Amino acid sequence: MVMITDCVSAADAHRVSHQRFDQQAFLGPVSLFSVAWNGERLAAAAELVDASVVQPPGPVHVDIDPAAATVQIPRREAAERSDPRPLVDALSGSSHPVIIAGLGLTTLPEEEMERAVMALNDLAARTHIPILTTYKARGVVPDGSEYSAGVVTGGTVEAPLLRESDLIIGIGFDPVELLPTAWDYEAPVVLAGTWRIDDADFFGEHLRAQVVGDLAELIDHAGASVRSEWTPGTGALAWSRLLAATRAGNAAGGSDLTPGLVVELASRHSPANSIATVDAGAHMLVCVPLWEVTQPQRVLISSGYATMGYSLPAAIAAALVHPEAPVVAFTGDGGLGMTLAELETLSRLNLPVVVVVFNDSLLTLIALKQNPAVQGGADAVQYASTDFAQIASGFGIRSWRVQSAAEYETAIREALASGRPALVDALVDPAPYGGIYRALRE
């Protein structure tokens, strides 16, 4: 991403106090770099874009300042390739390896991603090595394959499989995607990616090596040395355990419109090429595992900073980039409340995005983690009921407000069939989230 901002010119800063703000100091720490640009050397625009996509990709910031000197864009070089032998040696000495596939696979240029994903699936199909994926890597192995073992977050549901393993291979895996908890597995860890992970000390003494290079080549090269003794279907057993834990937790509550059902019905009635965007909040616990995917980049979610308000803007972007694909934006009432103005953008652009609101008038994930005695109690996480369907109607968006499973299924089918902007305001019962949270994370 290239973020472009206006600013008070350096030439005027001594006499202008209104809206004067050091944006480079503010945005520099969360950008690859931040520069001022006078707009004269037009080649700099292409250089900014090129710099943002070097692995690891990220945001760059430019302040438009007519008084700035001619800008020199910092040159970013791809990480130097390293010797692949530590990966080969680790796999040749392992009988029960597990692969964790992460965001590094999905940030590759399209052709490279396709090669790496194909190599990964070929290896797993041949050797039966189970593959866990992070939230952002959902779809690099198809749901339903015998080696697809579900998602990994640093929670508990993936723990049995990882404890059975004698080697954990991270493919494009970065610990920024995990919960900020201690790494609790004894198996040695080897990371393979297109860049070196700065936070690799997260794994402590268990990290044996980092290997940097072309992922498809690394996977193919290492595959010749694999002697996996996993039985066929081991991954599928782990995947079924995740789904069972999610659905069992989802069963509690007084309403038949449960959070999990909201996702499963949307997935069932969506075309195969549909894209889901997922906001931060309790609903992501059901959205990520229960939205069925067979290819990468069909579940888009904010990781690392876990930003509320992500889903709707991300859905608009996804619909612009992939006009052939319907998009379902899953969001909580809190996240949508932060980005309501983007409903006007959605309506004006007339994009095929269906917004599904998990409406329980509560910051549910915060409530699950909250210590009421010292963190404000219910008043800190609850708010008055909001009729998002009525708000969306005011923007010219067709909308439904539903509170039963039957009403929701009718609404989601009609919304998806319309091919136009739509919103389904689902009054869900938050009671099941507690069971889901405990099953997946505690």
For the chain (length 442 residues), average pLDDT per consecutive 10? 92 88 93 91 88 93 90 88 93 95 94 96 96 96 94 91 96 92 93 92 93 95 89 93 84 82 96 95 92 95 87 97 96 95 98 96 83 76 92 97 96 96 95 85 76
Q: Residue 227: is it exposed, middle or buried by C-beta count within 10 angstroms (0-12/13-18/19+)?
A: exposed
Q: Are 287 and 342 in contact (CB under 8 A)?
A: no
Q: Residue 29: give the domain boundaries.
A: 2-64
CA dist 431 and 442 (Å) reads 17
Is 74 a member of any domain? no
CATH number at residue 151: 3.40.50.1220
Q: Do 156 and 287 reside in the same domain of the chain?
A: no
Query: What does the pLDDT read at residue 71?
Result: 85
Residue 405 backbone zone (phi > 0: left; psi -120 to 50: alpha; other: beta):
alpha
Is 69 a member of any domain? no
Is 323 a member of any domain? yes
CA dist 156 and 226 (Å) reads 27
Q: Do 91 and 185 reside in the same domain of the chain?
A: yes
CATH number at residue 364: 3.40.50.970
Is 72 a member of any domain? no
Q: How many residues does the chain have?
A: 442
Query: What does the pLDDT read at residue 382?
Result: 86
Residue-wise pLDDT for 223-253, tens only, equals: 888 989 999 999 999 999 899 888 887 776 6
| Count of domains observed in the chain | 3
Q: Which amino acid is at 81?
A: R
Q: Do 90 and 204 reside in the same domain of the chain?
A: yes
Q: Which residues contact 3 (CB under 8 A, 6 or more apart)?
A: 27, 31, 59, 60, 61, 62
Query: What does the pLDDT read at residue 367?
Result: 83
Q: Do 337 and 381 reside in the same domain of the chain?
A: yes
Q: Do 274 and 213 reside in the same domain of the chain?
A: no
**CB count in 10 Å sphere of residue 206:** 15
Is 51 a member of any domain? yes
Q: Do 384 and 287 reside in the same domain of the chain?
A: yes
Query: What does the pLDDT read at residue 180?
Result: 85
Query: What does the pLDDT read at residue 362?
Result: 84
Q: Do 293 and 193 reside in the same domain of the chain?
A: no
Q: Do 215 and 100 reside in the same domain of the chain?
A: yes
Is 220 a member of any domain? yes
CA angle at 108 for the pair 39 and 356, rounded to the nearest 5°: 90
Query: What does the pLDDT read at residue 361?
Result: 86
Query: What does the pLDDT read at residue 42?
Result: 80
CA dist 264 and 266 (Å) reads 5
Q: Do 119 and 263 reside in the same domain of the chain?
A: no
Q: Are 340 and 391 in contact (CB under 8 A)?
A: yes
CA dist 128 and 121 (Å) reads 10
Q: Which residues contact 431 (CB under 8 A, 6 or more apart)?
A: 252, 253, 254
Q: Do 91 and 13 reside in the same domain of the chain?
A: no
Query: What does the pLDDT read at residue 324?
Result: 93
Is 243 a member of any domain? no
Structure-block tokens of residue 71? 């800008």
Domain boundary at 187, 203, 238, which? 238
Query: What does the pLDDT read at residue 13?
Result: 86
Q: What is the 3-state secondary structure (H, E, C) of the chain?
A: CEEEEECCCCCCCCCCCCCCCCHHHHHHHHCCCEEEECCCCCHHHHHHHHHHHCCCCCCEEEEECCCCCCCCCCCCCCCCCCCCHHHHHHHHCCCCEEEEECHHHHCCCHHHHHHHHHHHHHHHHHHCCCEEECHHHCCCCCCCCCCEEEECCCCCCCHHHHHHCCEEEEECCCHHHCCCCCCCCCCCEEEEECCCCCCHHHHHHHEEEEEECCHHHHHHHHHCCCCCCCCCCHHHHHHHHHHHHHHHHHCCCCCCCCHHHHHHHHHHHCCCCCEEEECCCCCHHHHHHHCCCCCCCCEEECCCCCCCCCHHHHHHHHHHHCCCCCEEEEEEHHHHHHCCCHHHHHHHHCCCEEEEEEECCECHHHHHHCCCCCCCHHHHCECCCCCHHHHHHHCCCEEEEECCHHHHHHHHHHHHHHCCCEEEEEECCCCHHHHHHHHHHC
Q: Do 176 and 272 reside in the same domain of the chain?
A: no
Query: What does the pLDDT read at residue 409?
Result: 97
Q: Do 284 and 198 reside in the same domain of the chain?
A: no
Is 234 a member of any domain? yes
Domain boundary at 238, 272, 299, which? 238
Query: What does the pLDDT read at residue 353?
Result: 98
**CB count in 10 Å sphere of residue 129:** 26
Domain boundary at 204, 238, 272, which? 238
